[in-house]
Amino acid sequence: MSEARPTTFDPRGAILMDRDAGQLRVGISAPRVMVPAEALVTLCAKAGEELTVALGHALGEAIGARLRERFESAGGDGVRGGPFALVVEHLAGEVALSGLGVLTAERWGKALAFVVDHSPIAHEAIGDVMLCGVLSAAVRVATGASATIVPVAREGTRTRFLVLGDGALDGVLRELERGTGWHAIVGDLNGGAS
């Protein structure tokens, strides 16, 4: 069995600075602009959720593309065929490179959760909205799967997101509006798994 896969995430050289041009790049991406996190949150709050999600998608698509390219170039089965922990590690590395915090993944039975800690933009709810856009786009571009990311809990600097499909999305949103705890939702999700 072929074990071709990327090695562990290596951030060295990931952020490139073109001193002559005065530009920053993450990998071979288009130039980036370093923006104060606080200013970004303020801008997103003014722009509203729809535009904030769109901005998150722009960031996440770039992340997903880098993951996809990295895993596919390694000669394996792409991101979908990659070991769970390794994919999460690379996804977390890319999220960290974007300055969005420390990402981990949790498997609650069959349910999957992303946890972002120490995100400089998540102290406001709009920051969580942006992270939803980032993660959903990253997963979509990397794997081709259409996943909806829903923030379900905040514990200090840590925000927990559930990765949901269309079949559970409405129900989960309804339960969250009712005030149901995310742990109860996760239990319900597993109990209702087909």
Q: Smallest Cα–Cα separation from 164: which of 111, 104, 95, 126? A: 111
Q: What's the angle, vertex CA 56, arms to CA 52 and CA 59, rounded to 5?
A: 145
CB of 127 to other proteins, least distance (A): 19
DSSP state of 31: P
Shortest spacing between CB 14 and other proteins, in angstroms: 7
Rounded to whole angstroms, the Cα distance separating 176 from 34 reads 35
Q: Would you give the binding string for other proteins spanning residues 99-138, x where CB under 8 A is met? A: ---xxxxxxxxxxx--x-x---------------------
Question: What mask of x and - would describe binding to other proteins in positions 131 to 170, judged by CB under 8 A?
Answer: --------x---x-xxx-------x-------xxx-xx--
Q: Does 189 engage in binding with other proteins (CB under 8 A)? A: yes
Determine, following the binding rule CB under 8 A, whether residue 194 of this chain makes contact with other proteins: yes
Compose the 17-46 pattern: x for residues touching other proteins by CB under 8 A, - for all others. Answer: xxx---------------------------
Which pair of tokens denotes residue 188? 């319900």
Half-sphere exposure of 189 (CA within 13 A, CB side): 27
